[in-house]
């Protein structure tokens, strides 16, 4: 039988043919397996809320969309909520962190220069959630994202009240993360209540609202929460807060505003100035999609 020298050894034609066929078979299996395990992401239909897991009743979905739409039109910051049944519908994703980062970057959430976008992601059957932050947020905001998940979302999720957890989590994300960053403020100090089980959420909201001079959204909800805070002068609850634009922002210049706080009981009054960020081109359109921002993996995750 004819034999051929291979690397100093002698091998028969049949052995070489068997080896070649074996290697070819392995290569084909690898090529077949690649598309089967390819990781992909869902498409978005709305730049505000994509409730693919049906966790939000229509009225609650409309409420979350109003919060996000109003804030985007006011500030240009893109925040979006996505709910899924499971990440496994889109590939082999055992953990939510790489999935959220990849999806964030594929969608291009946020302004590409400020990288201030935020993704609130809930995977129902995986029992995982994440607040993914744009690359512009410093690491200190990761801890605030963790607090939002821990105090505002997880307790309701454990009770199956997804709508309330998403609504409260969205409001807290705006008040405690997007707003101070957009205003160029240092991140608020983390709140560490001693009794987590009975810590009233409205008080947690009120502390942050007082620190930041009030939120930009949901004036009725914010006013109710703020009204529960006692006046620093007379100690009686019922203060009123309003925001006043002194100079409107444009696409090239920042604007100026004032937050006015008054107590009807003792006449206490304060005026706190704030900066209104320049308007981005995306903020003028409610259906223009995302602007091309990116994330470097910042944020926080949680389970319930």
Name the least confident of 14-18, 31-35, 43-47, 300-304: 31-35
Q: 302 with 141: CB under 8 angstroms?
A: no
| pLDDT value at 270 more than 70 | yes
- For residue 88, give both structure tokens: 């496994």
CA distance 60 to 62: 5
What lies within 8 Å, CB to CB, of 64 at 6+ separation is 48, 49, 56, 81, 166, 167, 170
Question: Please, what is the Cα angle at 223 between 74 and 285, to 5 degrees?
Answer: 15
- The domain limits of the chain are 49-285
Q: What is the pLDDT of residues 133-160, one digit of tens each?
A: 999 999 999 999 999 999 999 999 999 9
Distance CA 78, CA 108 (A): 10
pLDDT band at 246 (very low <50, low <70, confident <90, very high): confident
Q: Could you read off the pLDDT of 171-228 as tens digits, one per residue?
A: 999 999 999 998 888 776 665 444 444 444 444 444 444 444 433 333 444 455 556 6
Q: Does domain 49-285 have CATH number 3.40.50.1980?
A: no
Count CB-CB contacts under 10 A for residue 280.
20
Query: Are the CB atoms for 167 and 64 separated by under 8 Å?
Result: yes
Q: Give me the percent of the chain exceeding a pLDDT of 70.
A: 63
């Amino acid at each position: 039988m004819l034999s051929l020298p291979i690397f100093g050894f002698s091998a028969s034609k049949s052995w070489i043919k068997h080896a070649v066929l074996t290697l070819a078979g392995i290569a084909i299996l690898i090529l077949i397996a690649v598309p089967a395990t390819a990781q992909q992401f869902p498409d978005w239909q709305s730049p505000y809320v994509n409730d693919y897991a049906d966790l939000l009743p229509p009225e609650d979905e409309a409420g979350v969309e109003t919060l996000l739409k109003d804030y985007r039109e006011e500030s240009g910051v893109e925040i979006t909520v996505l709910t899924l049944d499971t990440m496994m519908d889109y590939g082999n994703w055992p953990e939510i962190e790489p999935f959220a980062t990849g999806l964030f970057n594929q969608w291009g959430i946020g302004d590409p220069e400020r990288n201030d976008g935020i993704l609130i992601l809930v995977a129902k059957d995986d029992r995982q959630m994440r607040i993914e932050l744009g690359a512009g947020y410093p690491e200190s905001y990761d801890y605030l994202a963790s607090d939002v998940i821990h105090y505002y979302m997880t307790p309701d999720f454990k009770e199956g009240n997804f709508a309330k957890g998403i609504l409260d989590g969205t409001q807290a994300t705006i008040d405690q993360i997007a707003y101070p960053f957009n205003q160029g403020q240092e991140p608020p100090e983390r709140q560490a209540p001693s009794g987590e089980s009975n810590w009233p959420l409205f008080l947690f909201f009120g502390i942050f609202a007082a620190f930041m001079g009030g939120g930009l959204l949901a004036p009725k909800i914010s006013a109710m929460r703020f009204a529960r805070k006692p006046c620093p002068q007379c100690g009686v609850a019922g203060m009123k807060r309003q925001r006043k634009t002194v100079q409107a922002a444009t696409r090239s210049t920042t604007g100026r505003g004032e937050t006015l706080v008054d107590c009807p009981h003792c006449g206490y009054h304060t005026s706190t100035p704030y900066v209104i960020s320049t308007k981005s081109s995306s903020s003028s359109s409610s259906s223009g999609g995302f602007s091309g921002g990116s994330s470097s993996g910042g944020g926080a995750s949680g389970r319930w």
